[in-house]
Structures are given as structure tokens and as C-alpha cells.
Amino acid sequence: MRIGIIGGGVAGLAAAYDLTAQGHYAEVFEVAPFLGGQASTFPVGGGQLERAYHHLFVSDTAITDLIHELGLGDKLAWLESKVGLYHQGRIWDFSTPMDLLRFKPLSLWQRLRVGLWTLRLQRTADYRRFEDVTARDWISRHMGSKAYQVLFEPLLRGKFGDHYDQVSMTWLWGKVRLRVASRGKALQKERLGYPMGSFGEVIDTLAQRIQQQGGHVHTSARVNRVLLSSDNQDQSDESETATGLEVQLKDANPENREYDAVIATTPSYVFTRLVPPMPEEYQKLLTGVNYLSAVLMVLELDRPLTPKYWLNIADQDMPFVAIIEHTNMIDKSLYGGKHIVYISNYPDRNSDLYRMEPEDLLELFIPHLRKLNPAFDRSWVQHYHHHRVDGAQPIISKNYGQRIPPHRTPVNRLYLANTTQIFPEDRGTNYSIRMGRQIAQMVMNDTNPE
């Protein structure tokens, strides 16, 4: 069986890996000059660093199993993270339940209330209980409006911008369960995983295995459209079937390639450009989900900015939502001794922040970085890097689970696998790998039924 795969992110690569392992031919086409999508890396200080910050939670078994399967298990380290919250001009520790009890901006009763309801969330297994209520309404009603305003609204605003008050409680429920699970049964400090060769080494090894198993992986390769049975004038089937792809490899003319099945891992708004309009019901599912982009500034500093690995910003005047100081968890010797700091935002594509030039964005950030560390000086910045990731975050609104497009599209032998279909969990590398492997099995089941 021959399978064409659109997109060289981890979902597409995971699908190709499993398909080729079972003796099928899989061919991956990635439009970017690199693989990995949101988990892709670039060179920094002699090492490789993710364009967008990445780590693993203890519950991320899909990716950890694959890392071991690829023979890279000895590179995977589990390290204690240091989490903080910037509020009212101060960085508060926020790694353990005891840190919550010491958080003076909330009264003791408010802190206890947040802790008790957090525990109940962690013990609630059925996400459907939260599908028809927003996080704003649920938190305000159960934990109190002050706790919502201080702890949760900044998080929601930072992640979803002007859509913050539309976000389903299911999304926040998933976040709470994930973070608590990473602390273990005794609720000790959170431990996070990281492959010491970078996620780039995992991605490169995955691509190598695909090719060793007889598949092909192309970069700088554009897919212009999915070919359907109606493109063949000699075929008169009433129902459409995916028969191939029109592709354009680097510096080559477009060509048609035939496949028995096609898997698309693009965002939904890209997928709609590659195929004719789907039946109305499915088309609405594709166009009914909005995405936010990620804008990341990566700083190479000659000294630490803060003592925290992850610093949430609970201050709407700040022009960023989180500071992730990578080398406060990962050894800086991997990056030539540089201290690596991510500055994170999730804006709309039409926002000023998204369109701002890197130099202007850095100048905007500098006065606010001094609020986090009054000693900070522009001279600390040895180099900086600017990355935009489109389609980074689907907006998870109420009853989202009812609006997810099925992986099997209305076109026979055409499958869709993207971040809008990861639910009730939030999008992430672990879940993309899980989804890619599930799609591979689905394709094999559909084309070779027992």
C-alpha cells in the first residue's frame, strides 16, 4: 500500500513510521525546509534548541514510549521544575500546594478554596461535566471571583487573547490534571522530561527510521492539492476517493503522485485549500474552529534572568504571558554556556504584536524584563531569535467536543489529523504522536479489513 502524507510534523512522521514498519510505502511532504513543525529546532551555541519551548509531563507516555523505541531512552532526563507567578510586582513561588497556601494576594480562605477545588478537579475523570460551561464562570462560581481574577484570568487572556471568556472549562480541567499528575502521588515538586539531545534528535531519528524502512521524507516540498477520483475522466464512481497528490519538490515542476490513501496533518484552514469543498456538515466543522498564533522571542543571555524555569505573568500590562527560562532546568553547557530564555505570546495574526519586527518587539519587552529583574540590562542579550508559529492554538470553546471533524473525511481514503482533533487534552507533541500512530492504524484497518 502507498500512502502520501501532507506535513512533516510529529503526527505525520509518527504515522509514516508505523506504516513503513508494517511494510507499507509512506511518503512525507513538508513545505518548510525542516521537519518537526512546532517541535522543530535550530542551532544555538553548538547545540539544538526548539523554536517553541518543549518539555514532557509524566503522563506523556505516547512520546516517551516512542523515544525508547527509537533507542534514545538514555537521553531522556526527568528534572525538577521551578514554577513562579509574577503578580503585583513580585515573583511568587508556585511549584507545590504549600506555595499556594503562602500566596498572600488571596486570603487564607480563598487559598484553601482554590486548593480544595483543584483537588476535586484532579480527581474528576469525566471531562463532559465541564463541556457546557466556560472556565470563567466555573472558576468564579466555585473558587471565587478574586481567585479567578488573580490566578486564572491572566492565564486565559495570555493563552486565548480576546477569546479568554469563551474558553471551555474542559480546557482548564485538562491543564489541572496534567500538572498535578506530573507531581506524583505525594504531590511533590513537579518533574518534567526533556531529551538531552533535543526534540530535534528525536525527529531526525524518526525520519531516518522511516527512510530505512523504505519510506521517503521530503522537506521544502509543497503539496498543491489532493487528487480525487473525479480527476480521472475514465472513472465514474459516484463517491469521491483520494487517489494521489499534486506535489512540487524543491526547484522542480509540479507532478502528480498516486497513492492508495492520503493523510493530511495540516491545520484545518490549510486543508480546505487542498481539497474541493466538503459536504456542508463536514465543511462547517473545518471552518468553525479559530486558531491563535504563537510569537516567541528566544534570548541568549550571559546570565540568568530569574531563578524560575516557568514564570506565568499575572499582569495585563505586560506584553507577554510567560517566561520560560530553559537553562534553569537544562544544563547551559549544551548551548555554549548561554542562558536561554523564551518570551511567549499567543496573538491573533492581525494583531500589532504578531506583525511587529523582531527588533521592535525586543525593545518593547526590555523595560518589562527589568520588572522581573531590576538589574537586567540590554547588554545581557548576546543574541536573540524571533519565531512565529501559525495555527498554534485552537480556541477551545463550550461544547467543543461536538464540533470536532472526524479523522475519516467524506472523501474515501482521505484522512485528517491535526490539533483541532486533540480533545479533551490540549494540543501537544505527545498527543500529536499518539494521533499519528492511531491514524496509521486506521488507514491499515480500512484498506486491509480482516
Give me the DSSP letters along 98-120. Answer: HHHHT-TTS-HHHHHHHHHHHHH
pLDDT of residue 316: 84
Q: Using the predicted structure, report yes or no on whether residue 184 has a pLDDT greater than 80.
A: no
Same domain, 410 and 280: yes
Query: What is the mean pLDDT of the segment spanning 370-395?
Result: 94
- Alpha-helix runs per DSSP H in 260-332: 268-274, 280-287
List, in sequence order, every beta strand (DSSP E) within 346-412. 381-394
Percent of the chain past pLDDT 90, that is, above it, reads 79
Structural domain count of the chain: 2
The answer for residues whose C-beta is within 8 angstroms of residue 395's C-beta and 6 or more apart is 160, 163, 166, 167, 289, 290, 291, 292
- 2-6, 347-351, 367-371: range with lowest mean pLDDT: 347-351
Same domain, 284 and 408: yes
Of 174, 110, 184, the residue nearest 144 (C-alpha)? 110
Q: Is residue 88 part of a domain?
A: no
Q: Using the predicted structure, report yes or no on whether residue 411 has a pLDDT greater than 90.
A: yes
pLDDT of residue 235: 47
Q: Is residue 317 part of a domain?
A: no
Q: Is residue 422 part of a domain?
A: yes
- 190-199, 235-244, 310-319: range with lowest mean pLDDT: 235-244
Final residue belonging to a domain, choices 118, 148, 181 = 181
Q: Using the predicted structure, report yes or no on whether residue 182 has a pLDDT greater than 70.
A: no
Query: Residue 189's pLDDT band (boundaries 50, 70, 90)?
Result: confident
Same domain, 410 and 271: yes
pLDDT of residue 178: 67
pLDDT of residue 232: 65
pLDDT of residue 445: 95
Q: Using the predicted structure, report yes or no on whether residue 121 has a pLDDT greater than 70.
A: yes
List beta partners, residue 93: 84
Same domain, 176 and 104: yes
By three-state DSSP, how is residue 359 classified?
helix
Please answer whether residues 181 and 340 qualify as being in contact, where contact means their C-beta atoms are separated by less than 8 angstroms: no
Q: Is residue 301 part of a domain?
A: no
Q: Using the predicted structure, report yes or no on whether residue 351 has a pLDDT greater than 70.
A: yes
Cell of residue 51, nine digits? 523554536
Query: What is the mean pLDDT of the segment spanning 29-35?
Result: 97
pLDDT of residue 177: 79
pLDDT of residue 104: 94
Residue 33: exposure state from Cβ atoms within 10 A (0-12, 13-18, ≥19): exposed
Looking at per-residue confidence, does 195 or 316 come out higher? 195
Computed over every residue of the chain, the mean pLDDT equals 92
Same domain, 13 and 66: yes
The answer for residues whose C-beta is within 8 angstroms of residue 62's C-beta and 6 or more apart is 430, 431, 433, 434, 437
Q: Using the predicted structure, report yes or no on whether residue 357 has a pLDDT greater than 50.
A: yes
Looking at per-residue confidence, does 430 or 292 come out higher? 430
Same domain, 101 and 72: no
Q: Please state at what angle helix 61-69 crosses helix 429-447, rounded to 10 degrees.
A: 70
Final residue belonging to a domain, choices 181, 206, 227 = 181
pLDDT of residue 115: 93
Query: Residue 188's pLDDT band (boundaries 50, 70, 90)?
Result: low
Same domain, 229 and 256: yes
Same domain, 412 and 279: yes
pLDDT of residue 367: 97
Range of the domain at 118: 96-181
Please answer whether residues 408 and 312 qualify as being in contact, where contact means their C-beta atoms are separated by less than 8 angstroms: no
CATH of residue 247's domain is: 3.50.50.60
Q: Using the predicted structure, report yes or no on whether residue 179 has a pLDDT greater than 80.
A: no
Same domain, 250 and 106: no
Query: What is the mean pLDDT of the segment spanning 39-48?
Result: 95
Q: Using the predicted structure, report yes or no on whether residue 417 has a pLDDT greater than 50.
A: yes
pLDDT of residue 145: 96
Percent of the chain past pLDDT 70, that is, above it, reads 96
Q: Is residue 210 part of a domain?
A: yes
Q: Using the predicted structure, report yes or no on whether residue 251 has a pLDDT greater than 90.
A: no
Q: Using the predicted structure, report yes or no on whether residue 147 has a pLDDT greater than 70.
A: yes
Same domain, 70 and 19: yes
pTM: 0.93
Q: Using the predicted structure, report yes or no on whether residue 387 has a pLDDT greater than 80.
A: yes
Q: Is residue 378 part of a domain?
A: no
Query: What is the mean pLDDT of the segment spanning 436-443?
Result: 98
Place of cell 461536538: 402
CA distances from 56 to 186, 433, 438 (A): 19, 13, 20
Residues in the chain: 450
CA distances from 67 to 74, 166, 197 (A): 9, 36, 11
Please answer whether residues 203 and 70 qualify as being in contact, where contact means their C-beta atoms are separated by less than 8 angstroms: no
Please answer whether residues 224 and 103 qualify as being in contact, where contact means their C-beta atoms are separated by less than 8 angstroms: no
Same domain, 176 and 242: no
Backbone φ and ψ of 379, nearest 5°: -70, -15
Place of cell 487517489: 243
Same domain, 275 and 421: yes
Query: Residue 238's pLDDT band (boundaries 50, 70, 90)?
Result: low
pLDDT of residue 236: 45
pLDDT of residue 62: 96
Q: Is residue 293 part of a domain?
A: no
